[in-house]
Chain A
Amino acid sequence: MDLNFTPEEEAFRAEVRAFLADKLPVRLSDKIRKGQHLTKAEHEEWHAILHARGWLANHWPVEWGGTGWTVMERFIFETETALANAPRVLPFGLSMIGPVLLKYGSEAQKKQWLPRILDGSDWWCQGYSEPGAGSDLASLKTSAVRDGDHYVVNGQKTWTTLAQYANMMFCLVRTSTEGKRQEGISFLLIDMATPGIEVRPIKLLSGDHEVNEVFFTDVRVPVENLVGEENKGWTYAKYLLTYERTNIAGVGASMAAFGELQEIARTQRRNGRPLSEDPQFAARLARLEIDLENMKTTNLRVLVAAGAGAAPTAESSMLKIRGTEIRQTIDDLMRRAAGTHARPWLPESFEGGWNGEPVGPEWAGPVATHYFNDRKLSIFGGSNEVQREIITKAILEL
């Protein structure tokens, strides 16, 4: 048993910290710390900074611009960037379509698309869910019919995150209604500028605009934009859902948020004493901290096993469940800490450059929107109920 990082890993951590101190613009980390929205340009700016250092695609193979990092180094990088309030790397290009192309794409497709993910030429979005196909993704209906050297796509996608910024979509479409539902699905790359595509915003309960509906009416997609084989798209889609889930728990981000919560509990006063000395609140805080410490070690155990060649399935699902529960609990305690000041809703304060007067303490401004917005965590990426199915399948072997 040895729970220490190696000297090499500690040196790597120091290198990441030095890089962040040097290159992470305070302008961006300030916004993240305050819970403000990043603009499209700010997301792209952070990607470009990482790309310039060669650290953007940290889990890709070196020959395609990856870093060759171990799982532990990737974990350290994720943790340190989160603790420094760096923006998160958007997953759509780097962790979703990138790995699918690397595994199943043609040489031509890899050469065409992968460099454009790295240099920021393309912003990808994910066309998976449909109004009738959520957890039961295989029931999707958006159709693609072959017409000469094109597919003609008709239908609707939904919950498409940041589609308002995207110029490309990787999309699951139905190319056959014969046989098993899973065997009639194909994986297409669609240029969002193609005629017949309409993106409509969905306003979330928190007031945020993150997700969209995307409508397709006779959208013509060139056949060279088919990934792999026709009707094999389900395999590729599933690969994407199991790829690189060792950091799924979001330990770094939760550690950063917990640190902030602790600070608030020490300074915010209730009934003449700090919240951290309120027995009810202190108990909630302690349970959360213990859960977080336990999860950190569970995550490290999974990383070490994965580094030794194991393919965690049930373990990744456990991390997804507990990781999202912990994050939601942090949001929950932030909201409780704010008391009456959780309620005032000043959406303009969530944008950069806002100079208005906050109602109550500044930190309290976004806590309720975060709480409501983060209910999504246990719903997306395979709902926590779907994760429980995965766990039972693995351990019950029925």
Chain B
Amino acid sequence: MDFSLGEDRQMLADSLRRFLADKVPFAVRKTAAFEGQGWSREIWGQLAELGAIGALFGEDVGGFGGSPFDVAVVFGEIGRALLTGPWLATLQAGHVLAAAGRTDDLAAVIDGSQVISYAEEEADTWFDPAGITTRATQSGEGWVLDGAKTVVAFAGSVDRLLVVARAEAGLSTFLVERDAPGLIVRDYLLIDGGAAGDVAFASTPATLVGEAGSAGPVIEAARALGLVALAWEGVAVMDALRDQTLDYLRTRKQFGIVIGKFQALQHRMATVALEIEQARSAAINAADRFSGTRVERERAASAAKATIGKAGSLVAEEAIQMHGGIGMTWELALTHYAKRLVMIGHELGDEDFHLARYIELGHELATA
């Protein structure tokens, strides 16, 4: 048994970490996250050069990684740096492209020249693709889309969208150009940094990716990988919150002593540390089981998301509370980490959604 990431992955982690720490100070990342488009395309391009995007995809489709532990490394560094950008969308959309054998489209994503987002969720789907109503109809040689997607990552500033829509044959995936006719984006910033948009389609021309009606299993696997990514990002954010809070407990004085001497805070900090280690184990499990059977993969992914959701609120709330008034300020880096951690809980299904899903998959397991 071996819980180390291995030399190659450690090198990738180190190079991403060094780049982000040395070349893009926190103040720069924070400005990028909360102003303008909510991310920096320049940093994106530099990270693409360093291989951060290529690491998310296998060699057979033009990347040089693609295992869940490669994904783990990249998203761990994104979390540690609190970096915004369409990372998760790229991971999911890229895996749909890869599954359909569209390696040319994927190559442009990997080298950073084309930035893609992923549009699955709708106002009423509540994390479940079964409720998707955006309609795809054949029109001559091609397809057109009608409907609307919500909170699509960086919809206002990417080049293309990978859209999940319902064709007559069932759920299908499509590529849509950002400047396609009949496509309207209303974009906005996000509370945890970055931006997203509501996207409306009116007879918008689209290119079918893969076979019509066969997207279900592909987008499910892409989501499972997305859940692995979010779990590792979440744990990295938790680590950062723990370290910053420990520093504060060691230095902040009240009643003449450092507040870390107070037992009420010590015991709560111990619980925070314990929950982070459990969350880390859940993230490891999710990555490990990704290559198992579908039910194993999905159960471990949902278990991880439920764990990260539960631990995440605790760690974020405690970090703010133990910082007192300063923990309420925009100024402090910690507060942005706390927001990100709680909002990770709202991506790709929240704690309750995944707990229910874990139960459902358990019934499948029992009756299998």
* A interface residue numbers (CB < 8 A to B): 1-6, 72, 266, 276-277, 282-283, 285-287, 289-291, 293-298, 300-301, 303-305, 314-315, 317-318, 321-322, 385, 387-389, 391-392, 395-398
A387 nearest CB neighbor, chain B only? B270
Q: Does B40 contact A (CB under 8 A)?
A: no
A175 vs B69: C-alpha distance when bound (angstroms): 57
Task: Report B321-368 residues with CB < 8 Å from chain A CB.
Answer: 355-356, 358-359, 362-363, 366
Chain A contacts for B246, CB-based, 8 A: 395-396
Chain A contacts for B282, CB-based, 8 A: 290, 293-294, 297
Chain B contacts for A283, CB-based, 8 A: 355-356, 359
Chain A contacts for B6, CB-based, 8 A: 1
Closest approach, in angstroms, between the C-beta of A75 and any C-beta of chain B? 10
Q: Does B15 contact A (CB under 8 A)?
A: no
Q: Mark B46-74, 1 if CB is under 8 A from A, else 0.
A: 00000000000000000000000100000
A276 vs B281: C-alpha distance when bound (angstroms): 26
Task: Say whether A293 contacts B2, CB under 8 Å.
Answer: no
B257 nearest CB neighbor, chain A only? A398
Task: Say whether B362 contacts A395, CB under 8 Å.
Answer: no
Q: Does B106 contact A (CB under 8 A)?
A: no
A72 vs B2: C-alpha distance when bound (angstroms): 12
Q: Mark B292-323, 1 if CB is under 8 A from A, else 0.
A: 00000000100100110000000000000000
Known A286-B362, A300-B1, A388-B267: A1·B273 in contact at CB below 8 Å: no
Closest approach, in angstroms, between the C-beta of A315 and any C-beta of chain B? 7
A314 vs B288: C-alpha distance when bound (angstroms): 25
Closest approach, in angstroms, between the C-beta of A360 and any C-beta of chain B? 24
Task: Say whether B2 contacts A1, CB under 8 Å.
Answer: yes
Task: Say whether B267 contacts A304, CB under 8 Å.
Answer: no
Q: Mark B253-293, 1 if CB is under 8 A from A, else 0.
A: 00000101101001101110110011111101101100000
Task: Say whether B273 contacts A297, CB under 8 Å.
Answer: no
Q: Does B252 contact A (CB under 8 A)?
A: no
Task: Say whether B1 contacts A315, CB under 8 Å.
Answer: no
B358 nearest CB neighbor, chain A only? A286
Known A1-B2, A388-B271, A395-B269: A294·B307 in contact at CB below 8 Å: yes
Chain B contacts for A396, CB-based, 8 A: 246, 249-250, 260, 266, 269
Closest approach, in angstroms, between the C-beta of B258 and any C-beta of chain A? 7
Task: Say whether B278 contacts A291, CB under 8 Å.
Answer: yes
A391 vs B246: C-alpha distance when bound (angstroms): 12
Task: Say whether A287 contacts B355, CB under 8 Å.
Answer: yes
Known A301-B281, A314-B273: A385·B267 in contact at CB below 8 Å: yes
Chain B contacts for A387, CB-based, 8 A: 270
What number of B residues sit within 8 Å (CB to CB) of A? 42
Chain B contacts for A286, CB-based, 8 A: 306, 355, 358-359, 362
Q: Which of B271, B278, B358 contacts A295 (CB 8 A)?
A: B278
Chain B contacts for A295, CB-based, 8 A: 278, 281
Task: Report B135-187 residues with CB < 8 Å from chain A CB.
Answer: none
A-B contact pairs, 13 of them (CB 8 A): A276-B366, A286-B362, A297-B284, A297-B285, A305-B3, A314-B273, A322-B274, A388-B270, A391-B273, A395-B246, A395-B270, A396-B246, A398-B249
Q: Which of A282, A294, A397 contacts B285 (CB 8 A)?
A: A294
> How many pairs of residues, A versus B, come closer than 8 Å at their CB atoms?
122
* B interface residue numbers (CB < 8 A to A): 1-6, 69, 246, 249-250, 258, 260-261, 263, 266-267, 269-271, 273-274, 277-282, 284-285, 287-288, 300, 303, 306-307, 355-356, 358-359, 362-363, 366
Q: Which of A3, A276, A298, A388 contacts B278 (CB 8 A)?
A: A298
Chain A contacts for B266, CB-based, 8 A: 388-389, 392, 396
Task: Say whether A398 contacts B359, CB under 8 Å.
Answer: no
A299 nearest CB neighbor, chain B only? B281
Most B Cβ at <10 Å: residue of A303, A387, A388: A388
Task: Say whether B273 contacts A2, CB under 8 Å.
Answer: no
A290 nearest CB neighbor, chain B only? B303
A92 vs B225: C-alpha distance when bound (angstroms): 47
A304 vs B358: C-alpha distance when bound (angstroms): 28
Task: Say whether B355 contacts A293, CB under 8 Å.
Answer: no
Chain A contacts for B278, CB-based, 8 A: 291, 294-295, 298, 322
Task: Say whether A301 contacts B3, CB under 8 Å.
Answer: yes
Task: Say whether A5 contacts B281, CB under 8 Å.
Answer: no
Q: Besides A72-B1, A317-B270, A398-B249, 8 other CB < 8 A contacts?
A: A283-B355, A290-B307, A291-B278, A303-B1, A388-B266, A395-B246, A395-B273, A396-B260
Known A286-B355, A286-B359, A314-B273: A1·B260 in contact at CB below 8 Å: no
Task: Say whether B3 contacts A392, CB under 8 Å.
Answer: no
Q: Which of B69, B270, B277, B281 contacts A1 (CB 8 A)?
A: B69
Most A Cβ at <10 Å: residue of B266, B288, B307: B266
Task: Say whether B284 contacts A391, CB under 8 Å.
Answer: no
Chain A contacts for B260, CB-based, 8 A: 392, 396, 398
Most B Cβ at <10 Å: residue of A277, A286, A314: A286
Closest approach, in angstroms, between the C-beta of A132 and any C-beta of chain B? 21
Known A1-B288, A294-B282: A315·B366 in contact at CB below 8 Å: no
Task: Say whether B267 contacts A318, CB under 8 Å.
Answer: no
Task: Say whether B284 contacts A290, CB under 8 Å.
Answer: no
Chain B contacts for A315, CB-based, 8 A: 277
Q: Which of B69, B261, B356 contacts A398 (CB 8 A)?
A: B261
Most A Cβ at <10 Å: residue of B270, B279, B307, B356: B270
Most A Cβ at <10 Å: residue of B1, B285, B306: B1
A389 vs B4: C-alpha distance when bound (angstroms): 29
B265 nearest CB neighbor, chain A only? A392
Chain B contacts for A322, CB-based, 8 A: 274, 278
Closest approach, in angstroms, between the C-beta of B255 and any C-beta of chain A? 15
Chain B contacts for A5, CB-based, 8 A: 1
Chain A contacts for B358, CB-based, 8 A: 286, 289-290
